[in-house]
Amino acid sequence: MTTRIAVTGAIGRMGKTLVEAVTNSSDAELTAAIVLPDSSLIGADIGEVAGLGKNGVSIVGDINQVLDDFDVLIDFTAPDATVANAIACASKGKGMVIGTTGFSDQQKVQFEDAIKSIPVCIASNFSTGVNLCFKLLDIAARVMGEDSDIEIYEAHHRHKVDAPSGTALRMGEVVADAVGRNLKEVAVYGREGQTGARDKNTIGFATVRGGDVVGDHTVSFLADGERVEITHKASSRMSFARGAVRAAVWIASQQAGKYDMQDVLDLR
């Protein structure tokens, strides 16, 4: 059965890529495209706006206008918008695929409360390769983590507004969990001045922003005499979009609950 998918933030860089990925999928159909209510493109055909040719789906500025038109919403927008969309989707029992990052603690509470009754796939990164890296990082940390200094490097384009990236933070969580540490207690976000000798239990983060970098991530396990590095480099947003569509098709047949790409890819 074909999954009916709505994309919110449909005219942004990631939104247009998601529209293309849904259009190219044999298992999904784009049935709704949502943007901010003040957009000048409301009423336009999203296929034309995305450069794919007319597809008969008109852009709307309010999710409530199309709640009956889709099975799963893909949301890669901003925390406030995602919380509001979750409340709307829950009111109609619609599934969600969430790629939004940067939630505050208060927004996390609001979001968790809103999604209790629906199936939701949440991931910091929907790339198949990145999710494979999460699995590899868990293994590497269990083998090398106690004897290594652990550092995480990430780079993204100049337009990214949060740092470190959600993917880098998730990598840190995977590694910290594997070695029995609490990331909030051991994370070090940048270093400057007389920092003193490195605490072996810390997990360091380095962030770069510039150009059009889609997303680079490297986790280094630095031991005496050797180091292991696990790296993922994305060259196109399409890798994320294809994964999100795969997750949407999967989530459409799931019971209410919170899932991630490890579930979608059967990597548990």
- CATH number for position 51: 3.40.50.720
Could you tell me if 146 and 106 lie in one domain?
Answer: no
Same domain, 177 and 258: no
Q: Within this chain, do residues 230 and 248 fall inside the same structural domain, yes or no?
A: no
Are residue 174 and residue 49 in the same domain, yes or no? no
**Model confidence, pTM:** 0.81
Instruction: Report d(CA 33, CA 172) in Å as an integer.
Output: 34
What is the rounded CA–CA span in Å between residue 6 and residue 267?
Answer: 27
**Token pair listed for 1:** 């059965």
The one catalytic residue in 54, 94, 135, 156 is 156
Let me know whether 28 and 110 are in one domain.
yes
* Cis peptide bond N-terminal to 79, omega within 30: no
110 with 137, same domain?
Answer: no
Q: How many CB atoms lie within 10 A of CB 263?
A: 17
Instruction: Assign residue 153 the CATH number of its domain.
Output: 3.30.360.10
Say yes or no: 228 and 250 in one domain: no
Burial label for 5, CB within 10 Å (0-12, 13-18, 19+), is buried
d(CA 248, CA 25): 11
Per-residue pLDDT of the chain (268 residues; tens, 9 = 90+): 899 999 999 999 999 999 999 999 999 999 999 999 999 999 999 999 999 999 999 999 999 999 999 999 999 999 999 999 999 999 999 999 999 988 999 999 999 999 999 999 999 889 999 999 999 999 999 999 999 999 999 999 999 988 999 899 999 999 999 999 999 999 999 999 999 999 999 999 999 999 999 999 999 999 999 999 999 999 998 999 999 999 999 999 999 999 999 999 998 7
In Å, how far are 7, 34, 61 from 30, measured between CA atoms?
Answer: 8, 11, 16
Is position 156 annotated as part of the catalytic site?
A: yes
Shared-domain flag, residues 83 and 172: no
Domain match, 8 and 109 both: yes
Tell me, yes or no, whether 79 and 48 share the same domain: yes
Residues spanned by the domain of 74: 3-122+237-264
Asked whether residue 256 falls in the same domain as residue 228, the answer is no
Q: How many domains does the chain have?
A: 2
Q: Are residues 110 and 241 in the same domain?
A: yes
